[in-house]
Amino acid sequence: MSAYYVDTKHAVGGSRRQSRATAGSRAIDQRPRARRLGLGREIPYAAHLGTILVLAIWSLGSLTGFIDQRTLSAPWTVATTAVDLIIDGRLQSNLTTSAIRVALGLAFGIGIGTALAVVSGLSRWGEAIIDGPIQIKRAIPTLALIPLLILWFGIGEPMKVTVITLSVIIPIYLQTHNGLRGIDNRYVELAETLRMGHGEFIRHVVLPGALPAFLLGLRYAVTAALLSLVVVEQVNATSGLGYMIELARTYGQTSTILVGLVVYALIGLLSDGLVHIIQKRALSWRRTLAD
Amino acid sequence: MAPYARGLTEPTVAVENLVRGFNGRTVLDGINLTIREGEFVALLGRSGSGKSTLLRALADLDHDVAGTGLLQAPEKKSVVFQDARLLPWKRVLENVVLGLADSQADERGRAALAEVGLAGREQAWPVELSGGEQQRVALARSLVRDPALLLADEPFGALDALTRLRMHDLLRQLCQRHRPAVMLVTHDVDEAISLADRVLVLEDGRITADIAIDLPEPRGHGDPRFASIRADLLQKLGVTINH
Ligand SMILES: Nc1ncnc2c1ncn2[C@@H]1O[C@H](COP(=O)(O)OP(=O)(O)O)[C@@H](O)[C@H]1O
Ligand SMILES: [Mg+2]
């Protein structure tokens, strides 16, 4: 109570002093604008400025004929091609096929990666058995396994989903395992003094404590899944976005390739945004007074 | 507080010839100590003198520390650390009732929060509280367990001076109401004198002073006996004061 009172008095005294200094010229704040050490004023629409500039150069180059249409179709050609592809249904059906592959791969990968991390993170035996093979698997780029996986599974959906799953398991496992093992020792002590049981300790302390690391792993996993998707669809596929792009390449349809790339970009941005939202929701306890 | 407890009751804590050391270096070298039911003991000592080592022994937190000696402490004990040590992913009330299994836990948690002046903040996240408020939650978390022994390791060490004085009042009230035996580790002589029934000084691994404080409440610097005890303790801690 008393501290608050002192503060108020200070504030009043302060403003009085200021108004005396500006007597006669009204109470306008005439202090010179202090230069801050930051980067200066914020630029409006800064995030989109570079993109708009690239689009403008692209359009201008296409209009003037400076950019060869066979190398890079004009933005409007890409747009009309996209509309055509949507009207005859090819874009949607290929997109759906690809989306199902990624979704399956992510679902299996997250499930398996988390399960492995929990077993290996919570028991010494689990770690002894699981961690070694995972580290070896990690050393081999997943895409290098494609030839072997084709021999095992053929070139159908199981092979494609397996490749994506394998590429998702690694980041999920690594981050989650790290999070489970990195629990602050102070919390372990606290749990002991509160006489928590082993189950309670894992449920209330270990798992929630590892959640931020798991979500970071999820972010990496989504990127890895998309990369694997692109590769498996270009190696051997008869459907999907990658197939659509490959087909367009053989016919020299630059604009269709570009539509495919735009869709990839949208998927990437959307999924990253989605993970970001999940992160914010799940980690709301982290919010500070500032935001 | 004095007439109630003195000499009539069983000791809550009994320590005999307690020895603890790290890597062959002895930190506690034969500690003897009893704390009676409801008695408030403050433990003073220089930084590194082994205060935390002793407190952690009483708290059963020293499994991997080498040592010998007899140690008797109640099952029902709570620890308050220097940091509030709240789980950041649990709301305030969840933190208070952490590990409690009974059906009335939430109700008792609310009551404990009200007692430390945090009614209405049950659903806040720990990051939304100030340092003093977080430490109040830690006190509530300890008290809701109805401890026979409250162990506190420099619980107010990280707080600013004003907040610390308020926390002293709060702790005094809470202890008068719940009457746990208390061992408060501190390096603040004034804090020790104004709160405790007995002040111990730990030096070179032994308890070198054991002073009963019979001053009437509220205790303050105005009382000349306060000043003389303070000077005495400071001297025992190796600080010479020039007037
Ligand atoms: N876990 C540990 N490992 C090794 N030495 C320790 C450990 N904990 C404490 N010590 C040593 O024991 C001595 C007493 O420490 P501590 O009890 O924390 O002192 P205080 O709490 O009085 O400041 C110090 O010299 C410290 O370095
Ligand atoms: Mg200490």
**pLDDT tens figures, A106-155:** 999 999 999 999 999 999 999 999 999 999 999 999 999 999 999 999 98
- CA–CA distance, A59 with A65 (Å, rounded to integer): 10
Contacts of B77 in chain A (CB under 8 A): 193
Contact B127 A191 (CB under 8 A): no
For a mutational test of ligand 1's pocket, the pick from B18, B19, B27, i.e. the residue with the most ligand atoms closer than 8 A to its C-beta, is B27
Nearest-neighbour CA in chain B from A204: distance (Å): 8
Helices (H), B27-160: 51-58, 92-96, 105-115, 131-143
- Binned at pLDDT 50, 70 and 90, residue B9 comes out as low
Contact with chain B for residue A213, Cβ under 8 A: no
For B19-75, write each residue's pLDDT tens digit.
999 998 999 999 999 999 999 999 999 999 999 999 999 999 998 899 999 999 999
Q: Relative to the CA of B202, which ligand 1 atom is closest?
A: 22
Q: What's the confidence (pLDDT) of residue A31?
A: 67
> By C-alpha distance, which of B237, B155, B238, B172 is closest to B199?
B237
Q: Is A208 on the interface with B (CB under 8 A)?
A: yes
- For chain A, the maximum distance between any two Cα atoms, rounded to a whole number of angstroms, is 90
Å between A191 CA and nearest CA of chain B: 8
- ipTM field: 0.89
Q: How close is the nearest chain A Cα to the Cα of B26, in Å?
A: 23
Q: Which of B143, B185, B175 lies closest to B43, judged by CA?
A: B185
CB-CB under 8 Å, A189 with B128? no
Q: What angle do CA B163, B131, B218 make, to 5 degrees?
A: 25
For residue A30, the model assigns a pLDDT of 67
Query: Has residue A19 got a pLDDT over 50?
Result: no
CB-CB neighbors (< 8 A) of B98 in chain A: 194, 196, 204
In this predicted structure, the answer to whether residue A39 has a pLDDT above a threshold of 60 is: yes
Q: Does A71 touch chain B (CB under 8 A)?
A: no
pLDDT of residue A211 exceeding 50: yes
Polymer length of chain B: 243
Cα of B2 to nearest chain A Cα, Å: 29
Whether the predicted pLDDT of A15 surpasses 60 = no
Probe site for chain B from A193, A198, A201 (most B CB atoms < 10 A): A193
pLDDT of residue A26: 58
Atom of ligand 1 nearest to the CA of B185: 21
> Of all atoms in ligand 1, which is nearest to the CA of residue B153?
21
* Mean pLDDT estimate for chain A: 87
Q: Find the B53 Cα to ligand 1 centroid distance in Å.
A: 6
Mean pLDDT (chain B, rounded) = 91
Q: What is the pLDDT of residues A51-110, one digit of tens each?
A: 999 999 999 999 999 999 888 999 999 999 999 999 999 999 999 999 999 999 999 999
pLDDT of residue B153: 96
The amino acid present at B138, given as its one-letter code, is A
The conformational region for residue A240 under phi > 0 = left, psi -120 to 50 = alpha, else beta, is left
Ligand nearest to the CA of B49: 1
Which of chain A's residues have a Cβ under 8 Å away from the Cβ of B128?
289
CB A113 within 8 A of CB A137: no
Closest-lying ligand 1 atom to the alpha carbon of residue B55: 17
Q: How confident is the model at residue B241 (pLDDT cuts 50, 70, 90)?
A: low
Q: Mean pLDDT throughout B189-194?
A: 94
**What tokens appear for A8 in the block?**
């108020």
Residue B242 has pLDDT above 70, yes or no: no
Q: How far apart are CA B192 and CA B201, in angstroms?
A: 10
Test the A interface: residue of B89, B90, B134, B160 with most A CBs within 10 Å: B89
For range B174-203, the mean pLDDT = 94
pLDDT digit string, tens, across residues B103-136? 999 999 999 999 999 999 999 999 999 999 999 9
pLDDT of residue A7: 39
